[in-house]
Every structure is written in structure tokens, then in C-alpha cells.
Structure 1
């Protein structure tokens, strides 16, 4: 069968699970990853064909996609802020909204005095996408990263190596800490923030396959990680230090109130590309 014909069949079989645009994007991701063929190659040569061995591989991937296993897990990688990252069932798949948070931090700090070395901490690093991207784009910085999952840290370490950056990784449960080991110029976190009551809004490919440890919090204590991290930031941020969070889109007001009550300054709540309140930053004028 010609590749062009199989492409049509592939999209049709995924129709009950994904829209045609998404199914087509999956096909071309697989085509490039497994066969080193690009969309333009297929457009220029309609006669390209698959071997029987190729069909076995493609059909296997197709069946897993029908179970709504994320394409990123099937390929074992994804792209984030222009970098390649390994992903697996132990880490969340990085989202475009998180890229916006990284962009915000870089824009705020890229023009700083290059003689000053920034000390940055990423709490709940997962795949390491935030820490690695900051280390790559703010080269005059020492980046540290914490996670409660040893397997996630193993993945993050590989991503740091593959992207040629140095990061100090620490295996810690942030909820158990009373003070951090070092002081920092920047603390950033994308902690668990999805409430149990919001599970019905979560797509099957996320709910069934991505790690719940990194996703969910109890309905009656949805800001548990933010309270803890903000409290640590008060103790461990250097003068004029910055705190950045990715947040639950429904809890922007609550997050603003929390940071105001804790006497943070320059609180800035922002929307993402989807017009949701998804990130917030603040500062401390002096170390507490």
C-alpha cells in the first residue's frame, strides 16, 4: 500500500477519538520519527510505499492511539520551548501554557547584569522542561530542581544531559521541608493543581495515562502546594527575589489573595494564549 493511501485509512480509523487535524498531525509525527520522512517528502512523491514490516509497526501504534495513549508517550519524546525532551509515564507531558511561563521568566531576566549569576529553583520539575529550558536560555545561572518522584528525576537528568545543561537535582518532598538548603533569586513551580471535582473536564488520554501524583489535589485544600512553596520562598528568596507559578485557571483570585496575605509585592496575574488565568508572579523586597 502506498503511504498516501495508508494516511487516509489512518485518519479514518482515528475519527472516533480525534478530529481529522489532530489525527493527521499524529501521522506525520510518526512518519518523521519512525521513517525519517517529512510531509513535504510525501507531497513530492505520491508513490512512496511501506513494507510489510512497516505496517506491523504502524498498526501497533494505531491500536495504541485508539486507546488514547498520548502520542508523546508512544514516541517517547516531545518538543518544548524549541528543545527535545524525553517523556514517559512517570512525567507529565509539557504543555504550551508552561512554555509561556518559561518565556515570562526569560524575558524578565535576560537583560539583567551579566556579571550577576542567577540562582534558580524549579520545584516539582517532572521532565525537567522548565529547569532545562531556563538553564539553556539563561546561561549565566545556576539551576536547581526538586521532585518527589525518583523516576521523574531520572528522566529529568537524562533531559539535562541530552540538552547539554548542568542542573543540580534533588529528591525531596516539598511538603516535608521547613526551609530550603540554599537561597535563590528565582523560584518557579508548576505543582499539582487540578481539583478532584475537575476530573470530569480532563480528557481520557490525560486521566488514564499521565501521573496523578503530578496532577491532582484535594478539593478542600487545592492551594496546598502554593501555600507551602510561597512560605519557603519567604525564607529562601534573596532580596528582590522572584516567585513564579503556573496555576489552576479557576483559582486566580484565590492565588492573588494568598500572595497578598503573605505580603508578597508586585503580584502579577496573567492569562495564557487560551485566555485563561494560568500564571502568576510576585517578589519579595527583602529576605524574611
Structure 2
């Protein structure tokens, strides 16, 4: 079958679940990954074909996409902040909003990096996307990454090796830690923050396949991880140390109030590219 013909069929079969633009993006993502062909190659050569064995592979992938399995899991990887990351059902798929958080941290600290080496801790690292991106882009930073999931840490370690950065990984639950025994210049976290009441807003490809351990918190205590991490930050951030969070878009003001009550300073709430409250920053003051 000609590739151009199969493309039309592929998009049509996914149309009940995805719009044409997204279905087409899936097609060309798979095409480049599996055949090293780009959209321009198909446009310039209408006679390109798939063999029967290749169509079998494509049909298998199509069947999984129709079950709403995330394409990143089917491909086994995704791109984040210009780097390739292995992903699987043990880790969340990195989001563009989290790239914005990484960008914020890098921009805030590149100038400071001229004067000192930064010690950074990423709490709830998952695939390692935050920790590894920071290690890759902030020269001489010493980066540590913590997660409760052994399987997630296996994936994160592979990603650090693949991206040729040195990250120290720690297997522990932040909720069971009272003191990190080390001081850090920056603590960053994208912890679980989706309340159960918000599950109805979550797409099936996330709800049915991505790890709930990394996604959801109880409605009655939605800020449990933020409160605990902030307590740790008070003990283990250096003077004027930086605390960055990715947050639930509906709880921006709650987060500001929490940090104010805990005497953090220079609190800044920031919106993502979609206009949602998504990130928050503050400094710790040991004298406050």
C-alpha cells in the first residue's frame, strides 16, 4: 500500500478520538521513528509504499492508539527541553508546562552560576526530566533527584545515562522525611496535585495509563506534598535558597497563602502558556 493512502486511512480511523491535526501528527511521528521518513519525503514521492509486514506493525500501533494508549508510551520516548527521554507506564509523560518551569529555574540562575556552584534537589523526579534538564543546562550544578518509586528511578537513571549527565538518585518517600541532612540552593518539585474531584477533566489516555501515584491526591488534603516539601525547604535550603513548584491550576491562591503563612518571601505565582496558574517560586529566609 502506498504510504499516502495508508496515511488517509490512519487519520480516518483515529478521527472519533482525535482531531485530524493530532492524528496526522501521530502518523508523522511514527513514520519518522520507524522509517526515518519525514512529511516532506512523502509529499515529494507519492509512490513510497509500506510492505505487508510494515502495515502489520502500523495496524498494531493504530489499534493501541484507538485504545487511547499514549503515543509516547508506544514509541517508548518523548522529547523534553530539547532532550530525549525514555518513558513508560512507571513515569508520567513530561508536559510542556513543566518545560516552562525548567526554563524559569535556568533563567533565574545562569547569572548566579558564574559565582558559585549550585546544589539542586528535584523531589518526585519521575522520568528525571526536570533534574536531567537542569544538570544539562546549568554548568557545574550538583543535582540530586528523589522519588518513592523504584521503577521510576530505574527509568530516570537510564535517562541520565542517555543524556550524559551526572545525577544522584535517592529512593525515598518525601512524606517520610523530616530532614534531608544536606543543604541545597534550589529545591524543585512537580508533585502529585490532581484532586479526585478533577478526574472528570482528565483524558482517558492519562487516566487509564499514566501512574496514579504520581498524579492524584485526596480532595481533603490537596496540598499535602507542598506543605511537607515547604517544611523540608525551611530546614534544608541555604539562606535565600529557592523553592520552585509546579502546581494545580485551581490552587494558585491557596499555594500563595500556604507559603505566606510559612514565612517564605518573594513569592511569585506564574501562569503557563495556556494562561493557567501553574508555577510558584519563593525564597527561604533563615531569619524570618
**What is the TM-score with the length of structure 2 in the denominator?**
0.99
Residue 122 (structure 2) aligns with: 122
SS, match of residue 50 in structure 1: coil
Any conservation in 2 of the 1:235–1:287 contact (CA below 8 Å)?
A: no
Shift of 1:222: 0.1
SS, match of residue 108 in structure 1: helix
Shift of 1:115: 4.0
Deviations 1:111-137 (A, max 9, x none): 114241100000000000000000000
Residue 74 (structure 2) aligns with: 74
Shift of 1:4: 0.4
SS, match of residue 112 in structure 2: coil
Any conservation in 2 of the 1:237–1:287 contact (CA below 8 Å)?
A: no
1-side partners of 2:181 and 2:155: how far apart?
Answer: 23
Q: 1:113 to 1:169 in 2, by over 3 A?
A: closer
Residue 219 (structure 1) aligns with: 219
2-side partners of 1:187 and 1:255: how far apart?
Answer: 16
CA RMSD of aligned residues (A): 0.9
SS, match of residue 179 in structure 1: coil
1:19 and 2:19 aligned: yes
Deviations 1:162-183 (A, max 9, x none): 0000000000000000001310
2-side partners of 1:188 and 1:113: how far apart?
Answer: 17
Where in structure 2 are the equivalents of 1:68-107 lying within 5 Å?
68-107=68-107
2-side partners of 1:258 and 1:87: how far apart?
Answer: 33
1:49 and 2:54 aligned: no
1-side partners of 2:217 and 2:162: how far apart?
Answer: 32
1:255 and 2:255 aligned: yes
Residue 209 (structure 1) aligns with: 209
Deviations 1:158-210 (A, max 9, x none): 00000000000000000000001310000000000000000000000000000
Residue 163 (structure 1) aligns with: 163
1-side partners of 2:71 and 2:148: how far apart?
Answer: 25
| Number of positions where the alignment pairs a residue of Structure 1 with one of Structure 2 | 288
Any conservation in 2 of the 1:238–1:287 contact (CA below 8 Å)?
A: no
Shift of 1:286: 2.8
2-side partners of 1:124 and 1:157: how far apart?
Answer: 14
2-side partners of 1:181 and 1:45: how far apart?
Answer: 61
Stretches of structure 1 that go unaligned for 5 or more consecutive residues are: none
2-side partners of 1:154 and 1:12: how far apart?
Answer: 38
**What is the TM-score with the length of structure 1 in the denominator?**
0.99
Residue 109 (structure 1) aligns with: 109
SS, match of residue 116 in structure 1: coil
Stretches of structure 2 that go unaligned for 5 or more consecutive residues are: none
Please identify runs of 4+ aligned residues in structure 1 that moved more than 6 A: none
1-side partners of 2:43 and 2:85: how far apart?
Answer: 28
1-side partners of 2:75 and 2:182: how far apart?
Answer: 37
SS, match of residue 249 in structure 2: coil
SS, match of residue 140 in structure 1: coil
Q: 1:136 to 1:55 in 2, by over 3 A?
A: same
Q: 1:258 to 1:82 in 2, by over 3 A?
A: same
Shift of 1:247: 0.2
